[in-house]
Structure formats: C-alpha cells, structure tokens
C-alpha cells in the first residue's frame, strides 16, 4: 500500500513505518497509509524561515501575484488527476468542482486583487500620513511588513484542495512561506496538490512545505514570527490555541471552527412566492452538497410558525428527489461522507439532536453502491420546538438540518444568535425592512450574511460559498477568526508598525514621495522622462495663470455648467462660502493641466484618472494659479512595457494658499 509523502526541508520524505490506513469513502477499500514519523518539525520550520521567507521577500507583491496566477493556470491544466482522487473522498463532480476549481479560483482571485490593490513593492503603506507637528517636519505613517516566520496551516478533511489553497494564497502574496498540514483522512488529495504545485517549478524553494500525518511536536517549535491558521472542530481549536508555545510567544492564531449556521425565512415569503422556493431549494442544496460536510452549511432553518408545515412539506418533496450514491455517476447529486468514522460521528450527533426533535425526512435509497461499506447516509431533516436546546449546540457535520419556528423578527434574531457565533447566515425575504432589522440584529454574531431574494437569486453565489474577496470566519463558536476578505487576509500575515520621522525619511522607508520631503526641480520636465529615469520627488512648477471673469463665463457656456455661484453675482454673494462669483473647480483643474503639461509625444502615455480631489479655497476672478506637480509613486507593471505614475498636484493662488489638491494618475512608458 502506498505511503503518503511529506515535503519538508527541501525534499520529499517517506516514513519508514507501517502508518495508519486511509480508506476510500465510497468502497471502504484501503487507499494509502499515512504517518509523519521521522520528520524533524523544528528543521522544517527553520527551512521555511531561512530559505522560503528570504526568497519570497526578494519579490514584490506584483511578482508574487504573477507567480500565483501562473500556478493557478498550471494547476487547472492538471485538474483531471485531482478530480480522480476527489471522487474517493465521497465527493460528486459538483462537490469536487467547489473544492478543486474553487481552490484555483482563490489563487487567481488573489493574484488579480493583489495586482490591483497592492503596490509593486515590498512594503505595504497602511492609511494616510499623520501630521504630528505643526511645522510639517515630524510625521507618522503605518506600514506593514511580512512576518519572518512560517504560516503553519492546519486544515480540516472536508476541503483537501480549497482549504490549503485559501490559506496559501494570502500568505504567499504577503511574502510568508506556508507549511500545510492537511487532515489525515483526505490527505491523499492534498499530497497530489502539493506535488503538482512543486512540479510547476514556479514556487521559490521553502515557500511551500507539506506534513502528511500527525503534527507531532510541530507547535513546540513556533516562534513569535510564525502564525497558525487552523480549520477544524471547536475542540481541537481550543486545544491548539492554548498550546504553550502559542501562548508564550503570542503566536497569531486564526481559527475557523464549526458553526451552527442559520437561514431565516421572512414572514412575507409564503408558499407561492419566489423567496419561499429559494429558501427551500437552498436548504436542500446546503444539506446535500458535500453531503452536508461544509462548515458553512445550514444547520438551523428558522421559519415563521405559520409557514413551518409548508416548508417541511416542500423540503420533504425535494429531498426525496435527490439521487444519492456513487459520486462518479453523472446523475448522483449526493455522494458519501468522507469516511465511516465520520458517519459514526454524525450518527452520534443526530442521536443527541433527536432527544428534542422529530424527523421530517430521512428515508433515501442509494444508487450503485453498498451503502454500509461506503460512508453513505440519507439527508435528514428534523423539526424541533423553539425552546429546544440541542439545535443551537450540536453540530452534526453531515447532511443534517433542523427546522425551528419563530413568531416575530426579534424572535428570529434571538434564535439566530443562540448559535453563539457563526460563519454565515442567510435571510430569505423580499421585505427590505425585515432584512435590515435581521441583518443588523444578527451581524455581531456573523462573519458573512447573505440576503437572498428574487432580485439577486440569479447571480447569487449562495449561502455556503466563501469568496476570496469577502471575509470567511466568524466570532465565538465559529472560532473568532477571519480568513480571506481580499487584502485583509494578506495583511493578517504582516506586522503593522507605526513609523515616526521626518517626511524625507518616511519617503525613503515607504518608497514614495511624502508631503514635506525635498523636491527635485531640475530643468528636464518630468514628462520627458521614462519610467526608468523618473525619480520620486521629480517636480515641475508651472504658472502663474490669471483666471479672468471671461474665462469663467466661457467655461460655463462651453460646458453648460452655469451654476449660480459662477454666473449670478447676487446669488453668489449670498452664498455662505463664496461671497461673490467664483471659478469652477473643474476649470481650476483644467488650467492646472494646461500649465503642467509637456504636450509633445513622449513617455507619458495617458492620464487615467484623479484621486482624492479636494477644492480647498475658492478661486475668484483675478486670482493667479500656480501648480506644483511632483512624482509621488512609481509602479512598474510586471507584464507591460509601461507602468503607473502617481503625481501629487498642488494648485495654489497668488497668496500661496492651496486651492486644489489631488493625485494625478498616469501611464508612463518604461523606455
Ligand atoms: P479536527 O478533528 O478538529 O481536525 C482538524 C485538523 O486539526 C486536522 O488537520 C487534524 O489532523 C488536526 N489536529 C487534530 N489534533 C491536532 C493536534 N493535537 N495538533 C495539531 N493538529 C491537530 O476537525 P475535522 O474533523 O478535520 O473537521 C471537521 C470540523 O471542521 C467540523 O467541526 C467543521 O465544522 C469544521 N470546519 C470548519 C471550517 C471553517 O472554515 N470554519 C471548514 C471546514 C471544517 P489529523 O486529521 O491528522 O488528526
């Protein structure tokens, strides 16, 4: 029988022991054996810190994003091998699609977001410059730099692909190496994934390691620069977060634990409305996709008391039509649980739930399988009274859900929050007032809330699908963690530091020109310089230009903007801010462009926008405008022969007062 390998300290490791057997969820047949015997966990962490970390930190955010994108595309080409293994976990094609293609989606999603939202640089600048002294010589800026340790990623058995990838992607973008420890039960899929990732040749050595089998003494070797990302049961989370090394070194510990997610049907959504059907469809789908083994699945369905029988009937009918059996068959809608032990565990939890509930549905038959040898079970829908305790405490991690009645919106909120913290909740209603009251009522207990109705159903990504751009995680019972959420997940792997100093020094630290830092006003106009020769602080000062009443009237007639403050002396005089006719702000910005431009063809290719535009002082007829345009940030694009240049534009009047301040965004040729 083949032994799963680990990849640590730069090589594949095959343990020389018998190992524990892993079984096919469908046939019960032994697939492989697993053990982490012989791995030097301390050395693996050291390898990540000393080899992987420096190699990643050599790269900019954009260079890492490019590698991540290439990796996602490479894995896509090899997905058949992963699908073949995924069936053995009991997953149907759709289940596997969520795990496998969903995992690629996280890589590609992070790659593209990082390119758009992070600088092509190694330091992340967080928030605005804070003036700390009156004279402008002492300022503060928050920066984020990658932690120098390893992101230890401990995953649950239910998503052997998506689970590791959604943790790996933000760590990689941040510049922190990953050590993946999959749940043993389905580690054969993750082993294949890591084999492919390494075979791609795209990843710097040390940026990815794999431990198949038990974590052993891994956590004993953690330092203050390492992180732990854990997904699994609440009890394991509790055990690990109180580990001595975690406490001693204040190791960042992010937990995604189990969760008794709810879906709430609005009182308006009676039988016959689109929302009623959406609610029932979603409930049945959340019970049966991945055989209910999703941390985000709906465990509690909260229904207005007067609609409970209708919902039960409609759900029973739909559940009876779900084809359950061999996940490799095309018609199969629900496969097996991940293993027999898992089914035992679910049966135990079901028994606890039944102490205070009755069965609405549990009688499916199974197609093309031996349901006892494989880990099959019928989807089971229960019904309990509003005051039952177990539905709010017991997680049956399988195709099990409970209907619970409620009487008023506040009642629905009170029941929902008895889950004591959830990853996700949904509200299915077309009544925006009900949706608002419930969303605001339950939000403090939830990481994500879906409001589903006839308007968004066609495009909705569904209750159970975490998305890379949205936060995944929840308070309390759900572990108190937060993963993904776009760049939030990246920043989790970085240390935020407040740096205080002079503008010149902060400019050097952040690789930007900072207000108050020296400017370089040599004779070459900066529009004549290529991206490669342009320097931070390069400046053109242009003007003055006098703004006349004729200019204002011409601009007003030409554009059609004849707002009274520009055209009506009496009305403008009564305006509390102006006291007389003023120039259009857009005229000021247009004159500024006319002043600073160097019009002949050259390296500046296009102006693609303005940001942070503020008009600070009114411009009156007769005022003289001078513009100072300074290179603030230079972002070469990795895959193009041009890059972005952000300019600081400051338009001042003859008294030296700033009348407008903004960033000009341009594309500039590299050569
Ligand atoms: P689990 O038993 O808690 O195991 C989770 C992971 O922890 C596995 O990799 C496991 O490795 C590892 N582990 C267990 N004891 C450990 C120890 N002493 N030191 C280091 N690692 C240890 O959970 P599971 O049965 O795999 O997963 C099911 C649970 O996960 C459900 O409760 C579900 O709700 C939850 N879940 C949550 C999310 C989420 O995002 N919030 C997602 C999926 C699942 P071994 O397998 O080798 O023991």
Distance in angstroms (rounded) separating the CA atoms of residues 551 and 625? 13
pLDDT at 464: 94
Residue 479 alpha carbon to ligand 1 centre in Å: 12
pLDDT tens sequence across 23-40? 998 898 999 999 999 999
Structure tokens at 525: 């106009």
Task: Calculate mean pLDDT across residues 346-374.
Answer: 91
pTM exceeds 0.75, yes or no: yes
Please count the other Cβ atoms lying within 10 Å of the Cβ belonging to residue 53.
Answer: 23
Residue 184 alpha carbon to ligand 1 centre in Å: 9
Residue 69 alpha carbon to ligand 1 centre in Å: 28
Burial 439-448, CB ≥16 within 10 A → b, else e: bebbeebbbb
**Neighbouring C-alpha atoms within 13 Å toward the C-beta of 496:** 10
pLDDT tens sequence across 271-284? 999 999 999 999 99
Nearest CA to ligand 1 atom 11: 183
Task: Calculate mean pLDDT across residues 603-624.
Answer: 97
Residues 212, 193 contacting (CB under 8 angstroms): no
Distance in angstroms (rounded) separating the CA atoms of residues 562 and 556? 5
Largest Cα separation within the chain, whole Å, is 94
User: Does a cis peptide bond (omega within 30 degrees of 0) precede residue 544?
Assistant: yes
Q: Is 158 in the pocket of ligand 1 (CB under 6 A)?
A: yes
Distance in angstroms (rounded) separating the CA atoms of residues 376 and 400? 13
Residue 506: pLDDT band with limits 50, 70, 90:
very high
Structure tokens at 561: 């903007």
> Is residue 646 within a helix (H) or strand (E), and if so which, with residue range?
strand 642-652
Residue 302 CA to its chain's centroid (Å): 28
Residue 629 alpha carbon to ligand 1 centre in Å: 55
Distance in angstroms (rounded) separating the CA atoms of residues 338 and 190? 14
Task: Calculate mean pLDDT across residues 263-269.
Answer: 98
Residue 370: pLDDT band with limits 50, 70, 90:
confident
Residue 257 CA to its chain's centroid (Å): 17
| Listed residue (450, 451, 479) closest to 464, CA to CA | 450
Instruction: For each of the domains in the chain, give its residue range(s) and CATH number, in order of start.
Output: 6-218+228-253+488-494 (3.40.605.10), 262-467 (3.40.309.10), 519-669 (3.10.129.10)
Q: Is 322 in the pocket of ligand 1 (CB under 6 A)?
A: no
> Is residue 94 within a helix (H) or strand (E), and if so which, with residue range?
helix 93-117
List the helix and strand counts (H, then E) for the chain.
20, 28
Backbone angles phi, psi at 154, to 5 degrees: -100, 120
Q: What is the atom index within ligand 1 of the atom nearest the CA of 236?
A: 3
Nearest CA to ligand 1 atom 16: 236
Residue 240 CA to its chain's centroid (Å): 24
Bridge pairing between strands 624-636 and 604-615? unpaired
Task: Calculate mean pLDDT across residues 550-570.
Answer: 97
Give, for ligand 1, the residue of 89, 91, 103, 183 to mutate: max count of ligand atoms closer than 8 Å to Cβ.
Answer: 183
pLDDT at 1: 61
SS3 call for 509: helix
């Amino acid at each position: 029988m083949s032994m799963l390998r680990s990849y640590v300290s730069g090589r594949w490791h095959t343990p020389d022991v018998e190992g524990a057997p892993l079984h096919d969820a469908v046939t019960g047949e032994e697939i492989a054996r697993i053990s982490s015997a012989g791995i030097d966990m301390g050395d693996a962490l050291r390898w990540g810190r000393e080899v992987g970390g420096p190699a990643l930190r050599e790269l900019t955010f954009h260079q890492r994003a490019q590698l991540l994108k290439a990796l996602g595309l490479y894995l896509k080409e090899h997905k058949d091998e992963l699908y073949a293994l995924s069936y053995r976990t009991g997953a149907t094609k759709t289940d596997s699609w969520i795990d496998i293609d969903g995992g690629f989606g996280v890589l590609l999603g992070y790659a593209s977001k990082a390119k758009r939202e992070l600088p092509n640089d190694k330091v992340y600048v967080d928030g605005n410059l804070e003036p700390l002294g009156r004279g402008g010589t002492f300022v503060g800026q928050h920066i984020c730099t990658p932690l120098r340790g390893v992101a230890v990623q401990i995953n649950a058995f239910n998503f052997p692909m998506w689970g590791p990838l959604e943790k790996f992607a933000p760590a990689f973008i941040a510049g922190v190496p990953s050590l993946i420890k999959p749940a043993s039960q389905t580690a054969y899929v993750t082993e294949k994934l890591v084999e492919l990732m390494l075979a791609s040749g795209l990843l710097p050595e040390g940026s990815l390691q794999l431990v198949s089998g038990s974590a052993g003494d891994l956590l004993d070797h953690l330092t203050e620069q390492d992180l732990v990302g854990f997904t699994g049961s609440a009890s394991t989370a509790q055990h690990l977060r109180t580990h001595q090394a975690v406490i001693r070194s204040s190791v960042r510990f992010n937990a995604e634990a189990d969760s008794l997610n709810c879906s709430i049907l609005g009182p308006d959504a009676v039988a016959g409305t689109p929302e009623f059907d959406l609610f029932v469809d979603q409930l049945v789908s959340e019970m049966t996709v991945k055989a209910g083994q999703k941390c985000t699945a709906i465990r509690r369905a909260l229904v207005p008391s007067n609609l409970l029988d209708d919902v039960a009937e409609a759900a029973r009918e739909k559940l009876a039509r779900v084809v359950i059996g061999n996940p490799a068959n095309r018609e199969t809608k629900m496969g097996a649980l991940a293993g027999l032990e898992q089914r035992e565990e679910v049966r135990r939890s079901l028994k606890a739930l039944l102490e205070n509930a009755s069965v609405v549905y549990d009688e499916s038959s199974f197609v093309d399988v031996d349901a006892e040898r494989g880990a099959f079970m019928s989807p089971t829908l229960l019904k309990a009274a509003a005051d039952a305790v177990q539905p709010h405490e017991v997680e049956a991690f399988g195709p099990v859900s409970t209907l619970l009645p409620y009487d008023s919106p506040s009642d629905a909120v009170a029941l929902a929050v008895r889950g004591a913290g959830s990853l996700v909740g949904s509200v299915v209603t077309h009544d925006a007032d009900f949706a608002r009251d419930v969303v605001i009522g339950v939000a403090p207990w939830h990481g994500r809330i879906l409001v589903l109705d006839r308007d968004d159903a066609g495009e909705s990504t569904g209750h159970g699908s975490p998305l890379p751009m949205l936060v995944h995680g929840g308070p309390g019972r759900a572990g108190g963690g937060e993963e993904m959420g776009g760049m939030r997940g990246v920043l989790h792997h970085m240390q935020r530091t407040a740096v205080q100093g002079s503008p010149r020094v902060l400019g050097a630290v952040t690789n930007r020109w900072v207000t108050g830092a020296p400017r370089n006003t040599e004779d070459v106009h900066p529009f004549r310089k290529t991206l490669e020769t342009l320097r931070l602080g390069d400046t053109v000062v242009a003007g003055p230009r006098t703004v006349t009443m004729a200019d204002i009237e011409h601009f007003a007639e030409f554009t059609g903007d004849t707002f009274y403050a520009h055209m009506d002396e009496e009305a403008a005089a009564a305006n509390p801010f102006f006291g007389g006719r003023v120039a259009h702000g857009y005229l000021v910005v247009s004159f500024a462009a006319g002043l600073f431009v160097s019009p002949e063809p050259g390296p500046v290719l296009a102006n693609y926008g303005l940001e942070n535009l503020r008009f600070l002082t009114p411009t009156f007829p007769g005022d003289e405008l001078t513009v100072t345009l300074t290179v603030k940030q230079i972002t070469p694009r990795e895959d193009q022969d041009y890059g972005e240049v952000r300019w600081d534009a400051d338009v001042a009047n003859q008294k030296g007062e700033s009348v407008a301040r903004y960033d000009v965004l341009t594309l500039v040729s590299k050569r």
